[in-house]
Amino acid sequence: MLFDSYQLQQLGLKNRIVMPPMTRSRAAAGEVATDLMAQYYSQRAAAGLIISEGTQISKQGQGYAWTPGIYSPAQIAGWKKVTDAVHAAGGRIFAQLWHVGRVSHTSIQENGAAPVSPSAIQAEGVKVFIDTTGNGADAGKGSHTEMVQHSMPRELTIPEIKQIVKDYAQAAKNAIAAGFDGVELHGANGYLIEQFIDSQTNHRTDEYGGSLNNRLSFLKEVVTAVADAIGKERVGVRQAPLTTLMGAQDDNPEVTYIEAAKLLNEIGVAYIHIAEADWDDAPVMPVAFKEAYRKAFSGTLIYAGKYTKERAEEALEKGWADLIAFGRPFIANPDLPYKLAHNLPLNTPDRPTFFGGNATGYTDYPVHKSDVNVLQPATV
């Protein structure tokens, strides 16, 4: 079913394999996407859909060194090189729009400002990646980089919240100007949108906090503004209902996130991208939860989280998912759809090269055939 031609015609995709957002920290000065990044993404254009690495909507939205932005003319131009390369290789690509909220450091923020969050709560032990000397991504991780506790955030005012909503809408317009086919809003992994949603990170007592309906207000405003800006059919949202990454935690996640799915269904976004917990001893997403998502949301559902071809086929067969995202396998296998279709062995990703650096561990993985951009999956 990963290559079911009739169903794929309905979705407008060449296969059901998604390359999900994966931070690789290789942006140039000014947080600009590079020619090397264009090569990296175009190599993987055999995916049915590529979702870019997290791309900050503003300087305030940045939480780590060397991640790309989409708020300046230079950044838009940099991403245009990427989208042109992907489209030339026959691919489709969405931009993941990102505001990290509290998960940042004063050394990254403009003028050394404190990061922002719905509430002034620090997640102890949550660290961010900073460049201590300004040597840049090419040098890779080493003596000039450091993982440090994120800085204490300050609580956003209501006017500031309204401005961030506008920043999301403008970033979406910028993404379309840069040639992206659509955008995914990063509402997962403990970043700003999820900080508003989750009960343990949002202690506000105004219209953005307290009740579940209030905690979903920021999500609703952002998604609505972005849908109005570029069209709801070009908008997806990522959620991670059971993960506790970056200190994210909700007291009743199954209730909270099904209500969020209902809200997104009412707005009519194109898809929800659900990240299942994928670490050892992680909470398993119950089948009943997946079935509730399907009932709550009538659009496309994408699932990610240590999927193998066999697990992917099961999820598609049982109707939980419409598309399956393969993360780390795509890092090491630019020709992943071809290899899955032909049951070929996969390259193993080189973890030390995940963040920062040059072409090593980025664009130099071997492929099964010489030109990955012309690979077509077998009919299975």
| Burial classification of residue 218, based on how many CB atoms lie within 10 Å of its CB (0-12 exposed, 13-18 middle, 19 or more buried) | buried
215/349 Cα distance (integer angstroms):
38
Residue/partner pairs of 337-340 with CB below 8 Å, 24 or more apart: 337/2, 337/15, 337/17, 337/46, 337/47, 337/48, 337/375, 337/377, 338/46, 338/368, 338/369, 338/372, 338/375, 338/376, 338/377, 338/378, 339/368, 340/2, 340/17, 340/309, 340/377
Q: In angstroms, rounded to a whole number, what is the distance separating the alpha carbons of residues 57 and 317?
A: 37
3-state secondary structure of 59: helix
Helix (H) or strand (E) holding 271: strand 271-275
Strand pairing of 323-325 and 116-117? Answer: unpaired
- Residue 335 class from Cβ within 10 Å (0-12 exposed, 13-18 middle, 19+ buried)? buried
Beta bridge partners of 184: 96, 236
Count how many Cα atoms sit within 13 Å of the Cα of residue 282 in the half-sphere of its side chain: 17
Q: Is 191 one of the annotated active-site residues of the chain?
A: yes
DSSP-derived 3-state class of residue 117: strand
Measured CA to CA, the distance from residue 276 to residue 300 in angstroms comes to 16
Q: Under 8 Å CB-to-CB from 72, ≥6 apart: which residues?
A: 30, 31, 32
Distance, CA of 302 to CA of 316 (rounded, Å): 10
Are 200 and 244 in contact, with CB atoms under 8 Å apart? no
Kindly name the residue from 168, 191, 307, 365 that is annotated as catalytic.
Answer: 191
Interatomic CA distance for residues 121 and 190, integer angstroms: 12
Q: Which residues are catalytic?
A: 191
